Amino acid sequence: MRQALTKRLAEEFALRGPPRNTQLTYRGCIERFELHHGAPATRLGRTHVRQFLVHLLEQRKLSPTTHNVYAAALYFLYTYVLGRPNVVVQLPRRKAKRTLPAVLTPAEVEALLGALPPRHRAVLMVAYGAGLRFSEACTLHIADVDSKAGVLHVRGAKRNRDRDVMLSPRLLDELRSYWRRRRPPGPELFPGRAGAGTTLTRAAVQKAMQKALAKVGLTRVRTGRRITPHTLRHSFATHLLEQGTDLRTLQVLLGHASLSSTTRYVHLSTARLASVKSPLDRLHV
């Protein structure tokens, strides 16, 4: 990506304030777009955008969800950064198949957490114990752990919304044990290997998680499920729903902007489905 475009993109990000992960993703998409055509985006147009999206579909065979991320990045680039909305007007979006995410049982969560190294267990226990997104768990600061109030302060989350979530006694014990072992210098609670200013990476945690999953027999080959750090957030929501937590409370805990995002966990709760009686059972046939 050319220096001038990089500067303009950074300015637009600063003005609009998308999450850091979105910024990194959009930058990567734009760089691959330019690399594919061997030219800067400022010299490319509607035909080039269409050719690139067809390439992603036919050669790269990307999923509809990933394909739409590229489309969104190019839309942002030409509409807001370069001021050429005609390039991406009526940009097609692929319809993604709605699939239910994987969910672990409480016994499986317990087995997984027990097989993890202490450092990775602590951050994944935060993801499950408080229902945080992986990025939210990794970027927690030491000051965000409020033991007196019994809450975790989640700052600058998705759409730059702050929220407070539960800090269970069991999770607090784990974090105190982690603190005594690691003594992180701060401000990050889970610093990366490079020290202050960095955090644990998804790749590092995912690698440790895969080893633990293999150890307890929860591999994708055996279970048919792809289990990731985000699976623990799905499991948190499903298990709370099965315990009787109402959807509005769950929405606040998860930080969902819309209740419709929360209602999908009703479909994941097999316990709730099993408790519903079919009208057929009332018939004397």
Is 133 a catalytic site residue? yes
> What confidence tier does 84 reach under pLDDT thresholds 50, 70, 90?
very high
- Residue that is written with structure tokens 């990045």 in the block: 73
> What confidence tier does 1 reach under pLDDT thresholds 50, 70, 90?
low
DSSP state of 164: E
**pLDDT tens string 107-136:** 999 999 999 999 999 999 999 999 999 989
User: Across the chain, what does the average pLDDT equal?
Assistant: 89
**pLDDT tens string 208-263:** 999 999 999 998 878 888 899 999 999 999 999 888 898 899 998 998 888 888 88
Q: How many residues does the chain have?
A: 285
pLDDT at position 222 is 80
169 upstream amide cis, omega within 30 of 0: no
Is 211 a catalytic site residue? no
Segments in the chain forming alpha helices (H): 3-16, 20-37, 46-58, 64-76, 106-114, 118-130, 134-138, 169-182, 202-215, 220-223, 229-242, 247-254, 259-268, 270-275
From 48, 67, 158, 239, active-site residue:
158
Three-class DSSP category at 152: strand
Average pLDDT over residues 25-29: 95
Average pLDDT over residues 149-155: 92
Q: Which residue has the higher pLDDT, 2 or 91?
A: 91
Is 256 a catalytic site residue? yes
Q: What residue type is 90 in one-letter code?
A: Q
pLDDT at position 20 is 78
pLDDT at position 101 is 80
Q: Compute the distance between CA of residue 49 and CA of residue 52 in angstroms, rounded to an integer.
A: 5
From 37, 50, 182, 230, active-site residue:
230
pLDDT at position 272 is 64
- Decide: 129 and 169 in contact? Cβ < 8 Å: no
pLDDT at position 221 is 77
Percent of the chain residues past pLDDT 90, beyond the cut: 60
From 27, 84, 256, 264, active-site residue:
256
Q: Compute the distance between CA of residue 6 and CA of residue 118 in angstroms, rounded to an integer.
A: 40
- Residue that is written with structure tokens 């990050």 in the block: 188
Three-class DSSP category at 199: strand
**Closest by alpha carbon to 139, among 203, 208, 186?**
186
pLDDT at position 264 is 79
From 48, 67, 120, 133, active-site residue:
133
Q: What residue type is 59 in one-letter code?
A: Q
pLDDT at position 269 is 73
Cα Rg of the chain (Å, integer): 22
Structure token pair of residue 190:
């889970």
Average pLDDT over residues 81-98: 88
Percent of the chain residues past pLDDT 70, beyond the cut: 94
